[in-house]
Amino acid sequence: MNKMLVAVFDTEAAAFEGLSALKDLHRGGDITLYSSAVIAKDKNGTVNLRQEADPGPVGTALGLLTGSMIGILGGPAGLAIGASIGGLAGLVFDVNKCGVDVTFLDDVSKALTGGKFAVLAEIEESWTTPIDTRLHKLDGIVFRRLRGEVVADQLMRESAAFEADLKALNDELKQAAAENRAAIQKDVEAVKKQIKVVQDEAKARLDQAKAETDAKVKALQDQAKAATGMVKARIEKRIAIAKADFETRAQKLSQAWTLTKEALAA
C-alpha cells in the first residue's frame, strides 16, 4: 500500500543507517522505496534539510512533504501546529497535495524535538513488520499514513458547489429587476473565475498523477527485474495496485474537470 513514512531518530548516524535499512528492504523486495529525504531539527527548533527528496515525478509528493515539514515544524521547539496554521495556508495545501493531512505532521512534531533527525520516505509495503523490525533496532519512532485523495476529493466538492452556486445566480439573474442585474452579474463572473481556477487545478493534478504513476510503475518494473518467485509476485501485485490507484484518482479529477467545464458552458 502506498504510504508516507517518517522515522525519527536520536542521532544523524542512526537516521542514515535507517535510510540504508529502507534501501536494503527495497533491494530485497520487502518494500518499494520510491523516494527518500533526511531532515534535522536543531536545539533552537530550526529544521534543516540533510538529504533532499529524489528529483523527478516519483519524488514530487515527498518533496512537497519535506518542504512543508521544514516550514511548518521549523518554529520554536514545542510549537503546536494548530497555533501556526493561519499563516501557513500554502504549506498546509502542499501537505494535502501529498495525500496526507496536518494531523500526520502533528503526530511527527511531538517526536521530532530539538536535536533529533528524521527520515522521510514514500513507500509501498504489504505489511509493516520488515520496516518496524529494522528501524526499531535503531530506536527509530515510525509514523505512517496511507496516501489519500485529499485534493482530488476537495476539487470534486468545490466543482459541485461552484456549479450549484452558478446555477442559482443565473436563475436569480433571469428574475432580477433591472437595477439589481449588474450586481448579480458581477457575482456570476466572480464564481466563473473560481470555477476556472478549479478546472485548471484539476487538469494540473491529473497530469501530475499520470507522470507520477508512470514513474512509479517504471521503478516497480525495474525492481521486479532482479526479483524471482514470491518476491517478484509481490512486486507485480504492487504494479497492479499502482495502476488501479491511478484510475481511481483520474476518475475523480476527470469528474471535477467535467463539472467545471459544464458549469462554464451553461
Domain ranges of the chain: 2-148, 151-265
| Bridge partner residues of 123 (DSSP) | 3, 33
Please check whether residue 153 is in contact with residue 80, taking contact to mean a CB–CB distance below 8 angstroms.
Answer: no
Provide the 8-state DSSP code for 43. T
Inter-residue contact 163 to 148 (CB < 8 Å): no
Q: Please give the C-alpha separations between residue 98 and each of 5, 92, 151, 212, in angstroms, as whole numbers.
A: 12, 10, 9, 12
CB contact set of 86 (below 8 Å; sequence gap of 6+): none
Q: What is residue 94's predicted lDDT score, i.e. its pLDDT? A: 67
The Cα 212–Cα 216 span in angstroms is 6
Q: Which residues of 118-157 are buried (b: 16+ CB within 10 A; e: fewer)?
A: bbbbbbbbeeeebbeebbeebebbbbbbebebbbbebbbe
Q: Which residues, 6 or more positions from 44, have their beta carbon under 8 angstroms from its beta carbon?
A: 76, 77, 114
Centroid of chain to Cα 156? 17
Distance CA 144, CA 130 (A): 14
Q: What is the largest CA-CA distance in the chain?
A: 76
Q: Note if the pTM is more than 0.75.
A: yes
Q: What is the pLDDT along the chain (266 residues), one digit of tens a residue?
A: 889 999 999 999 999 999 999 999 999 999 999 999 999 999 888 899 999 988 788 888 888 888 888 888 875 433 444 444 444 456 666 677 677 777 888 889 899 999 999 999 999 998 999 999 999 999 999 999 988 767 788 888 888 898 899 989 989 988 999 888 999 999 999 999 999 998 998 898 899 889 999 999 999 999 999 899 999 999 999 999 999 989 998 998 898 889 888 888 86
Confidence (pLDDT) at 22: 97
Query: Which amino acid, 190?
Result: A
Host H or E run for residue 130: helix 129-136
